[in-house]
Amino acid sequence: MSATLITRIGELMTVDDEDRVLRDAAVVIDGDRIAWIGAAAEAPAADDRVDADGRALLPGWVDSHTHLVFDGDRTAEFEARMAGQSYVAGGIAVTRDATRAASDERLSALVAARVRAARAQGTTWIETKTGYGLDVASEARSARIAAAGADEATFLGAHLVPAGVDPDDYVREVCGPMLDAVRPFVSWADVFCERGAFTAEQSREVLTAAAAAGLGLRVHGNQLGHGDGIRLAVELGAASVDHCNFVSDADLDALAAGSTVATVLPACDLSTRAPLAPARRLLDAGVEVAIASNCNPGTSYTSSMPFCVATAVLQMGLSVHEAVRAATRAGAIALGRDGSKGDGDGAIGSIAVGHRADLHLLDAPSATHLAYRPGMPLTAAVWRGGRLVVTTESASS
């Protein structure tokens, strides 16, 4: 693969250890990695040249929480919620039935289309979960499709206890034959530790079994009310705890003292009319905060990370720079791919020499336009692993 120079970048946000914002900058891509960063006037020669024409360049979005392996429609549930009914976890069963009925080919095509839609808005790395199968065969199939279609696959057999099944029996199935069946395809395990889903004791059992199987841990926690999810995640060393709408002082202290990333899901908060997660309070306490889309059919049917970033700025009190970091590097930290463990070569979520060339060129002079012009299509080009995967006519040279 030839080297490519992207030059005349109006604003370059590195989101790396130095956290630089460079003006009139340039980047050289060599193969799938960043080879050089600096002033445009000092850029080395390269085989190909892209003129950014004063546009802003960011790391590609890292979407660390999605549910893409599903079929079916839940607009009726959404309409009821907009009419005043409160959200409960049980709607997952509707998607389970439609997903089980879909063919492998259809599910794979649906995942591919959803990933393409995310890429088109600048997402270059995407995690997705199982959790709409809820039996051994269906979860194994979902894990295989997730692993083939996304960048990271997570086992979420503990999404909901199916109707008519004894909860303790189901937890044993999740921790035994279901975990064994999905293990070849997934890197992570997750659990919905919430009223209407799994208790703290059941969640601990699931997470402990997953850790013994060599999987990294994630937790859905504190979405519907105060509970044990956040502190359980921190106690067990989970990479992230996601939702975090209800955060007590004890939860905040636990997160601040640990290394678990608090992932907020602003599109989900809006769709469920829940209190927005206290991202500002979390950041001010020194907690690492990530932003993810939570793309799913029931509570957040969007993969638009620009929408989530704009919401974080406009309604959650984050600065543009904080929101961009949360949607890029912090997402990479939540997935263990930021390079902080000595494996910086090929790291994602930031622009640094040796990191993957996952880049997002905006059709705007600065990242501020993401919030200043919310909802506007501002993606001009996307490189993923050094390969141009999205472009517009105005972005080509």
Quick one: pLDDT band at residue 397, thresholds 50, 70, 90? very low
> Averaged over 30-44, what is the pLDDT?
97
Quick one: pLDDT band at residue 3, thresholds 50, 70, 90? very high
Quick one: pLDDT band at residue 342, thresholds 50, 70, 90? low
3-class secondary structure, 270: helix
CA 364, distance to chain mean position in Å, is 24
> Averaged over 227-231, what is the pLDDT?
97
| Nearest Cα residue to 325 out of 305, 345, 341 | 305
CATH number of 3-60+350-395: 2.30.40.10
Mean pLDDT of the chain: 95
User: How many other CB atoms are found less than 10 A from the CB of residue 103?
Assistant: 9
- Percentage of the chain surpassing pLDDT 70? 96
* pLDDT tops 60 at residue 396: no
* pLDDT tops 60 at residue 377: yes
> Averaged over 260-272, what is the pLDDT?
97
Q: How far apart are CA 245 and CA 230, in angstroms?
A: 10
pLDDT 10s digits, 155-171: 999 999 998 999 999 99
Q: How far apart are CA 101 and CA 98, in angstroms?
A: 5
The H or E element containing residue 78 is helix 75-82
> Averaged over 93-100, what is the pLDDT?
92
The fold for domain 62-334 equals TIM Barrel (3.20.20)
CATH 3.20.20.140 domain locations along the chain? 62-334
Quick one: pLDDT band at residue 305, thresholds 50, 70, 90? very high
pLDDT 10s digits, 163-210: 899 999 999 999 999 999 999 999 999 999 998 899 999 999 999 999
> Averaged over 79-93, what is the pLDDT?
79
* pLDDT tops 60 at residue 395: no
Quick one: pLDDT band at residue 343, thresholds 50, 70, 90? low
CATH 2.30.40.10 domain locations along the chain? 3-60+350-395
> Averaged over 278-306, what is the pLDDT?
97
> Strand 21-30 relative to strand 3-13: parallel, antiparallel, unpaired?
antiparallel
